[in-house]
Amino acid sequence: MTAFLLGPEGRGQIAFVLAASNIIGALGFSSLHVGVLKEVSEGNELAPRVGLSMAARISFGIFIASVVWSGFLLATDHADTAALVLVTGMGAALVVLNLFILRACQALGDDEGFKRGWLIQGLMMVFPGIPILLVFPTVTPFLVVWLSSLFASALYVFRRRTWFAPEYHGAQRRRLLSHSLRAHAGTVGTQVLNRLPVVALGVTAPPATVGVYSVAAPISELTWLISEAFSLLAFRKAVADRQQKRDRDRTLHALHVWMTTVSAAVIAVGVVTLFPYILPTFPEVPLLVLILLPGVLVQGHARVAMSRVTGRGGVNASSRIGIISGVLSLTFFPVAAAWGAIGVATAASVLFGLQGIGVLLVDRQLARREWGS
């Protein structure tokens, strides 16, 4: 809908701000909920308060940095860039708080609050986001709705909780951060690899090019909806018997391969036959989707495998994978500058595939240890 109402350039501006904010916010978030859960499981009832304090400080630091940077740009007659930096910084600051509150809520057992928080955020993007765009077809109102949705969902979930104790100690903060950062390296690298292509295009290509890619990427990534469901199944440890674990993993893998392959074929046929009639102002999208699909498919299998790796306690392995993924993602900047959207799509497909193969190999190694074969 944003692409339809705003065209390639407007869609590109929105996509860049959202991608940049989410990357910065994900980096700053530091997976603090992991440390909170570990501390609470060891009897530290103050841990949620510690985590919230740390998330708030990180969020405030990001916001202040964006204000200073945008003020410098404004003083040097770069008003448009200054506004972009400020909105991105505000978004990143809210993403940090939003991620911590919702993830901590989920980790500590409030599944209902977690689901409702995400539902509030999603509904606000559609209502009033789309009606406002129909009346005011510009980028700014939609970004205001997006910022409001982050704040509203975090506030709702926060108000549900009563586990924020009144005080904490510095030693608890350091221990919690240590637990969190070990797990964070494994997840943030993959997030950066998935989201950095839009940012790389945003700093090297016109907004219209960003807009085209930002439509193609989520279409190709629709298969990840299936992969995310299988990731939750793969993480479960309900089966204790070794042979039953092996049979379950093999059954889930076969079913996941079949479902994602069929969905990818449906996406490919649909985008080639129907998309030119839905958004004729984005003629490059079908080609980009076809380029992205192979890598996206492998990455989907890697997501399921990563859940198994985490479930088997492979924290060090997942951390190495995350660091390698983050380093590989830097390739997008020179590729975007040289070959634009098609180059980035090709690089993304290749890097998704390479990272996915690495994850699958690690998963296979850990599985052999677990199964004793």
Distance CA 373, CA 370 (A): 8
Distance CA 288, CA 267 (A): 12
pLDDT tens readout for residues 155-185: 999 888 654 544 444 445 566 666 566 666 6
Burial class (CB in 10 A: 0-12, 13-18, 19+), 171: exposed
My answer on whether omega of the bond before 128 falls inside 30° of 0, hence cis, is yes
Output the pLDDT for position 280: 92
Distance CA 317, CA 340 (A): 33
Burial class (CB in 10 A: 0-12, 13-18, 19+), 79: exposed
Provide CB contacts within 8 A for 193, sequence distance 6+: 325, 326, 328, 329, 351, 352, 355
Taking alpha carbons only, the member of 113, 67, 119, 115 closest to residue 89 is 67
Please report, in tens digits, the pLDDT of each residue of the chain (373 residues total): 999 999 999 999 999 999 999 999 999 998 888 788 778 877 777 888 889 999 999 999 999 999 999 999 999 888 888 999 999 999 999 999 999 999 888 777 777 888 899 999 999 999 899 999 999 999 999 999 999 999 999 999 988 865 454 444 444 556 666 656 666 666 778 888 988 999 999 999 999 999 999 999 999 999 998 988 887 676 554 444 567 777 777 888 889 999 999 999 999 999 999 999 999 999 999 999 999 999 999 999 888 887 777 666 556 777 778 888 888 899 999 999 999 999 999 999 999 999 888 888 888 887 777 655 5
Distance CA 192, CA 169 (A): 32
String of DSSP letters for 64-102: HHHHHHHHHHHHTT-HHHHHHHHHHHHHHHHHHHHHHHH
Return the structure tokens found at 217: 């990427």
pLDDT tens readout for residues 259-311: 999 999 999 999 999 999 999 999 999 999 999 999 999 999 888 887 777 66
Residue 305: Cβ within 10 Å count? 26
CA 297 to each of CA 87, 216, 368: distance values in angstroms, whole numbers, following the listed order:
33, 15, 24
